[in-house]
Amino acid sequence: MIPSARLYDWVRPLLFALDPERAHDIALRQLDLAHRLGLTRRLAPALPDDPVEIMGLRFPNPVGLAAGLDKNAAHLAALASLGFGFIEAGTVTPRPQPGNPRPRMFRLARSQALINRLGFNNRGLDAFVAHVARFGSLHVPAVLGLNIGKNATTPNDEALADYRAGLRAVYPHAGYVTVNISSPNTRDLRALQGVEALAGLLGGLMDERRRLADRHGRQVPIAVKIAPDLADDELRRVADALVALGADAVIATNTTIDREQVAGEPHAAQAGGLSGAPLRERSTAVVGLLHMHLQGRLPIIGVGGILNGADAVAKLRAGASLVQLYTGLVYRGPSLVAECRAAILASRAPRNSAPA
């Protein structure tokens, strides 16, 4: 059997010869095929469970898939077979939308980074929920997170209606729901992170959740995904607001608009959100700041710049309870999932005491 890391080393040059968005679509279709043929088991070596309990949920292990890779929830079974403890699908908007004009995704290979300005391209809630319902019937142990946003044509003062529609549609199928207010690729979306705007939006969603919990007999946790570009004082105010408003977790962080780490590299000046290795330091710093400020009042899911197992361990040591991968999978392939899980397990194993 060819180790999955070596196999991806052979495949990656072929994918990198293509436009990044086309390569992304092809890779997911091939992953689906491999899953149907029972081959993805070879990409996910057997590892012991490493359960984590947060938000009232039990995650089989702390390594998850970040939102954005499977926007339409069309590849969930194949992705879950790679060994993730949880999968976050989306971002989905109430109505289908094409997103921003192409090209809208760029590789910065020297920096192991991506820039994307996709703009919540997705097929809308009806298609999304149909895919999610099929996945739910498989009884896969991975927790399913569903990430909701607003349509680009919806002004911010009407955004609550879009998020309510998203919450109502995904609620029966979600392990947890993520509210995305931090993508840089939908005009003015990040303004919803302001404390006053956040109070109106999240307060309205919590009211909606109470009604849905009564109807469905369970309360689905709500997480909020924030940007890395907030100043430290803003991060503290947002964290306090999330606690006061009843959020169940904070996801730190989304992509960045900062280009300092990639200055001079081809495509560095492209508009959009930067992800990958250049985001690692800032996202981990945000996790650490939130951990120190929150003092256990709200769990943190760490995402941004995880390219190897040590990066995942660093996020947990900074204060995250769970971690998520995305850009690292583009550069490292599916073996990154097992590498991160194994590194986390090793970091938790008791060390032998030195002889007296």
Amino acid 4: pLDDT: 59
Amino acid 351: pLDDT: 62
- Domains of the chain, residue spans: 4-347
List average pLDDT for each run of 10 residues in the chain, which is 356 residues long.
Answer: 69 95 96 92 84 98 98 97 97 98 97 98 98 92 97 97 98 98 94 94 98 98 97 97 98 97 95 98 98 98 98 98 98 95 93 46
Cβ atoms of 128 and 89 closer than 8 Å: yes
Q: Is 46 buried (19+), middle (13-18) or exposed (0-12) by CB count in 10 A? A: exposed
For 210, the 3-state DSSP assignment is helix
Residue for token pair 């109807």:
215
Amino acid 356: pLDDT: 38
Query: For the structural domain made of 4-347, what CATH number should be given?
Result: 3.20.20.70
Q: Which H or E run includes 79?
A: helix 76-80
Give the residue numbers annotated as catalytic, written as ranges: 183
What does the CA dihedral 70, 72, 78, 79 come to, rounded to 10 degrees? 30
Any idea what the Cα angle at residue 271 is, between residues 265 and 272, rounded to 5°? 100
Cβ atoms of 113 and 266 closer than 8 Å: no
Task: State the Cα–Cα distance between residues 164 and 148, nearest whole angstrom.
Answer: 9
Dihedral sign, Cα of residue 119, residue 125, residue 130, residue 132: positive
Amino acid 354: pLDDT: 42
